[in-house]
Each structure stands twice: as structure tokens, then as C-alpha cells.
Amino acid sequence: VGREPPWAHRVFHHYRERLGWRYGSARELEHRKRVFVHNMRWGRVGTRPRGAAEGRWEQLSALAPRQVRAVTPVKDQAVCGSCWSFATTGAMEGALFLKVRAGRPRGASRWGPRLGPCSVSLSPQTGVLTPLSQQVLIDCSWGFGNYACDGGEEWRAYEWIKKHGGIASTESYGSYKGQLPPLPQNGLCHYNQSEMLGRITGYVNITSGNITAVKTALYKHGPVAVSIDASHKSFSFYSNGVYYEPKCANTTGALDHAVLAVGYGVLQGETYWLVKNSWSTYWGNDGYILMAMRDNNCGVATEATYPILA
């Protein structure tokens, strides 16, 4: 019997907590974990498009995240429903990075090159990329209607950032914990006002379902926080190709996960969004997914937002 990959145990328990899986015995738990690993191996094969040029797609996999200079490395929200904080900070990081694009040297390329079989539209490549703290939003934005690991919304996080004159960097506030007591505690929120970054005047709710408007926002403003329907097994086991789920919903009430749209393009005739998730680099294609644009599949264009810097 082959040994499980070293990451399998961690990924299984990640989804076990996220989806509330419960088992009656240790034996059943072990059996279910083996089934999960088997399904994951199946998924990483089954989601590859038939006839795809594997070498060229792997080239895209290696290059695309590095070309999106306004995006920090993929993170792991762990067993915490804090996706909203990752989407918010991702949009803020991109906005701060692009704000200083006037300092770009003359003659420097504004847009990413053609990558493999895709033509990808990316953000201007200037500025300083500073990782921002998800934990400060988790700890401090309870009064704005967010519930830390029990969920939240990006617009509420933007409201907190607006009122408090910015957001803390990861370096100044401390690392992400990935867990929190069910209720806020005194002293948990501890940011230093003098170290806050990125004052905003507000945020934009892009017209729901307007794919052109989302493209324009990505082109002009950088990464956009979006909500999607991530409830399907095909999404959990995605690994490659353009993701299209016929059963995916795109109405506001059905969207259950916040992610970051960072670009768009075409792969073998299929238009897609390049999306950064917060389920670690073990998930998807190094933490990324190409989500089909057609039919507004899974609702990428339904609830898209980005901040306006002061």
C-alpha cells in the first residue's frame, strides 16, 4: 500500500472542519480519509481538459502568478471561515501597489506578456507590494457586522478600513492565527494607528453580472474581491483547466465563498477569470483557478468590489 502524500492529512482535516464532517469511530475516520485522498487523486486527473497541451499549461501555471505583480503569495485560511478577510486584503494590496504606478520607469511594460496558450490581461507592474493583515480585520471588525471565523463581508471590512484610516500590515500586526474564540474578547484588537496603511474614501460595488465592468476594473484598478458558489465537489477537487460547473449558481443568496479575481484571458477558446483562492497552494493549481466567464458561472461577476484609495 502506497504511503499517503505528506500534505494529505492536513488537507483532509481542512475540508473536514470546513464542511462539518463527523465520524463515529477512528476506524471510520481513517477509511474516509483514504477515500478522500483517492478522490483527490481522481480530481486532479478528472479536471484536466481532454487534449490539453499539458506542457504549455504547466508553463502558464509557473509564470502567471509571478506576472501578476500586484498579488501576494497564496495563503491558507485553514479551518476558519475568514475568506472575506483574504479577499479584502487582496484587493487592498493590489490597490496600494498600483497607486504609485507613476513611478514606473519610462519604456517599462505595463502589461503581462502572452503566456503559453493564453492571452492574459494583467495589472500595471509598479510599486511596492506589502502583505496586509487579515487578522486585524478578524479581531477588530465585529462592530461592523463581521464574525471573524464565522463569516463576514468585504464591504463591511472596507467600512472598517475607511473609519480607522487604513489597515495594518502583516508585519506590524502579527501573523494570521486561523482560529478565534466564537465571541470578541477585550484586548484582542491591538493595532497601532501610526502604522496603518491605505486610507480609503470608499469602495465600488460593480454592477451585478456585468462582466465587461469587472474586466474594466481589473484593467484599471487591479485585483477585485469577488464572491462565488464554491459548494460543489468539482470545485474542491479542481486542479487544472478552465473550470465550468453546470450546477453552479450565480445569484447573491447562493454565493458562499470570497476570493480574489486577478486577471482574465482565453484558454483554447474558453474565456476565463484568473482567481486566487485562500485554501493554500495544495489546492487547485498552486492555489489558483481559471473560472469560466460564460453564463457568469459560479457568480464571479455577481458581487465584485474594489476599494478607492484616498
The cell numbers describing 39, all together, are: 478522490
Q: Are 288 and 240 in contact (CB under 8 A)?
A: no
Residues 44 and 283: their CA atoms lie apart, in Å, by 10
In sequence order, which residues have a C-beta less than 8 Å from that of residue 62 and are 6 or more positions away? none
Question: Residue 239 and residue 235: Cα distance in Å, rounded?
Answer: 9
Note whether 58 and 239 are within 8 A (CB).
no
CA distance 116 to 245: 24
CA distances from 227 to 86, 135, 147, 194, 254 (A): 12, 20, 17, 32, 10
228, 300 contact by CB (below 8 A): yes
In SS3 terms, 234-285 reads as: HHHCCCCCEECCCCCCCCHHHCCEEEEEEEEEEECCEEEEEEECCECCCCCE
Active-site positions read 83, 257, 277
Give the sheet arrangement for strand 288-292, strand by strand.
200-205, 305-309, 224-228, 257-267, 270-276, 288-292, 242-243
